[in-house]
Amino acid sequence: MGGGGRVTPLMTIRPRRADDLPALVAALRAVHETMGYPSVWPDDPAAFVLGRGEAWVAQHAGRAAGQVMLAPLPEPRPGWATQIAQPSGAVWHGGILEVKRLFVSPHAQGLGLARALLAHARREASERRAFSVLQVNETSGPALGLYEREGWRFLTRAQAAWTDPDGSHPWVRVYVQPGP
């Protein structure tokens, strides 16, 4: 698998199925309790996991251990589109896709699942001739390190649309991965 991800006999990346939901909600709960993602526990965690977009699961030892989503970003913040295309002058035909809801259960972290999910989302966006972007809370050190190690380019800093437990809008770093 490209982009640093790997597949082993105990790990596969596949489309999410309805029967994955209980394991994914449990994984998200564990991630929330140990790493603070998401920063506010959702009223409907199943709806949060399902989100809007296409999702893939990292299956480890026969169980869904994490996921990633790819969703159209119909209205990027002003200036993002120009900033995305500037370095290469590239033209994208598939628009901009946002990588979101990337998480891996703490019991399966360190096995390359997050890298494999991220690489899969990047390939999917590339096959669609789209640029991919992601937003990450500035306080999420491990996630920031992953994205930078995997070659994502820092685009800008912005205040998030969501709120933290104190009601403030956290600062996020926006990263881009150019299309083909």
48 in any annotated domain? yes
Residue 141 sits in which domain range? 11-177
pLDDT in tens, 51-74: 999 999 999 988 999 999 999 886
Handedness of CA 78, 135, 126, 124 (dihedral sign): negative
> If DSSP codes are grouped into helix, strand and coil, which group holds residue 149?
helix
Banded pLDDT at 81 (limits 50, 70, 90)? low
Q: What integer pLDDT is reported at residue 1 of this predicted model? A: 37
Q: Which of these, 150, 134, 141, lies nearest to 80 by C-alpha position?
A: 134
DSSP sequence for 52-99: SSEEEEEEETTEEEEEEEEEE-SSPPTTHHHHHHTTTT---SS-EEEE
- Position 86 scores a pLDDT of 45
Question: Based on the structure, what is the number of domains in the chain?
Answer: 1
Note whether residue 67 is domain-resident: yes
Backbone dihedral angles phi then psi of residue 100, each to the nearest 5 degrees: -150, 170
- Domain presence at residue 16: yes
CATH number assigned to the domain comprising residue 47: 3.40.630.30
Find out whether 176 and 133 touch, Cβ atoms under 8 Å. yes
